[in-house]
């Protein structure tokens, strides 16, 4: 169980914190150090890379959607003595959902990854401001890692200025295009879709070991706050849960699945892309989000999968889809080239990718229809597709993170439910 931790933060997105966090994780694994991984906020993709780097699951820690008992409990349950937490965006971005806020609630010092292309001594002024702003909230800046250094002299100029300000420099990483992290419309290409992921992780670890004092960095970790009372995010919706899990349905949160197992439920994976149906004895079928739009033909031809869902719906077994899962439960999906492909038809919704528009943000959800889900949930929305038509009884009443009314969302038809919303945690009490 993790008793110590540190948070790898940046000044912005694309600062290099993901690659450095992965390199640090794989380097620690090489060195035989007992570490675990976590990601700040609602992100399905980075934890997959963490798991590949360490060989153990990563967990999402969301300072907006999780109370202190849940946050600290999930952190402490990770299998490693020291928890390496990857931040999100810039260190203060996101307000109460920021990396800085998470660090304070956990008691984790911050290590700042600084992309110093186009600057040198200025890095010291920026880091000093970050140190002071963190310190005002009780968070320690353990030090910095200089990233994308053009030369040894470039790194030395920045290092000397930082050390003059009393800021520890754990190391410097050169500017290189030898390692790239390919992206697509919802973020990085998922770990399972990389052709040679292990080579990428080994190269990242080489950079880390060559340029960063790993021992000093790990020694800068801090004692994590223990939970006041251990709790789970969402109670299991059934004793036996069938979980869609493959390249089309890869966005299920590890903390939900692990919590259901800890509470005695059995989670049984199946692959729609392999034309597998859910366990017929399951009391709940869960189709999480993912990339169904990249696998339309395979899903349309998955006859066993579709017929099994229809048979379970006819028996009144609860079936729930989130985002991509919701789309697959609908009548059809129109792909990027304008092709309309029929889906399961269990819900009266039709979605399209023809005019991509980003729908993004935290959501407060109040369940308004009968379903084996909590009455109140905190979650998020993140998709580019649009619902062309939705007909039927809504599943949720939705507000944004600030309480602004967004109206009803999702659909209910018999025992089948779904929406674009991803659940993170139930509201305590």
Residues marked as catalytic: 323
> Are the CB atoms for 225 and 106 separated by under 8 Å?
yes
Q: Could you tell me which of 29, 18, 34, 142 has the C-alpha nearest to residue 87?
A: 18
> Are the CB atoms for 294 and 254 separated by under 8 Å?
no
Angle subtended at Cα 172 by Cα 78 and Cα 43, rounded to the nearest 5 degrees: 35
- Order of strands, sheet of 359-367, starting from the edge strand that comes earlier in the sequence: 405-409, 396-400, 359-367, 376-383, 422-426
Angle subtended at Cα 319 by Cα 318 and Cα 322, rounded to the nearest 5 degrees: 135
Query: Distance (Å, rounded) from C-alpha 390 to C-alpha 348?
Result: 6
Pairing verdict, β 376-383 and 422-426? antiparallel
Burial 133-148 (b: 16+ CB within 10 A, else e): ebeeeebbbbbbbbbb
């Amino acid at each position: 169980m993790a008793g110590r931790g540190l948070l790898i933060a940046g000044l912005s997105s694309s600062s290099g914190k993901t690659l450095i966090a992965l390199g640090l994780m794989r380097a620690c694994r090489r060195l035989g150090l007992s570490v675990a991984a976590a990601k700040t906020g609602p992100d399905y993709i980075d934890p997959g890379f963490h798991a590949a780097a360490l060989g153990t699951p990563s967990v999402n820690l969301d300072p907006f959607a999780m109370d202190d008992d849940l946050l600290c409990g999930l952190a402490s349950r990770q299998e490693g003595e020291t928890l390496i937490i990857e931040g999100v965006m810039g260190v203060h971005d996101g307000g109460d959902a920021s990396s800085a806020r998470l660090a304070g609630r956990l008691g984790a010092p911050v290590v700042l990854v600084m992309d110093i292309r186009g600057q040198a001594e200025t890095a010291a002024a920026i880091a000093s401001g970050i140190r002071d702003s963190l310190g005002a909230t009780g968070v320690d800046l353990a030090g910095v890692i200089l990233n994308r250094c053009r030369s040894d002299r470039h790194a030395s100029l920045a290092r000397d200025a930082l050390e003059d300000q009393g800021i520890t420099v754990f190391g410097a990483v050169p500017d290189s295009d030898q390692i790239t992290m390919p992206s697509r419309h919802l973020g990085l290409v998922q770990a399972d879709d990389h052709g040679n992921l292990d080579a990428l992780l080994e190269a990242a670890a080489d950079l880390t070991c060559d340029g960063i004092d790993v021992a000093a960095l790990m020694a800068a970790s801090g004692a994590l706050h223990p939970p006041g009372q251990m709790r789970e995010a969402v109670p299991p919706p059934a004793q036996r849960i069938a979980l869609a899990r493959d390249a089309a349905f890869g966005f299920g949160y590890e903390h939900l699945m692990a919590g259901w197992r800890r509470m005695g439920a059995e989670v049984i994976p199946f692959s729609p892309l392999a034309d597998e149906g859910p366990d017929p004895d399951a009391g709940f079928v869960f189709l999480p989000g993912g990339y169904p739009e990249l696998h339309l033909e395979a899903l349309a031809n998955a006859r066993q999968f579709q017929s099994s869902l229809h048979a379970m719906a006819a028996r009144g077994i609860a079936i729930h889809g989130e985002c991509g899962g919701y789309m697959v439960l609908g009548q059809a999906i129109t792909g990027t080239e304008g092709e309309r492909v029929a889906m399961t038809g269990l819900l009266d919704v039709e979605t399209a990718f023809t005019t991509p528009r980003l729908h993004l943000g935290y959501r407060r959800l109040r369940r308004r229809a009968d379903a084996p889900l909590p009455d109140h949930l905190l979650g998020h929305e993140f998709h580019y597709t649009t619902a062309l038509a939705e007909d039927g009884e809504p599943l949720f009443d939705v507000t944004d993170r600030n309480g602004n009314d967004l109206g009803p969302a999702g659909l209910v038809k018999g025992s089948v439910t779904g929406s674009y919303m991803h659940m993170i945690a139930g509201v305590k009490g």
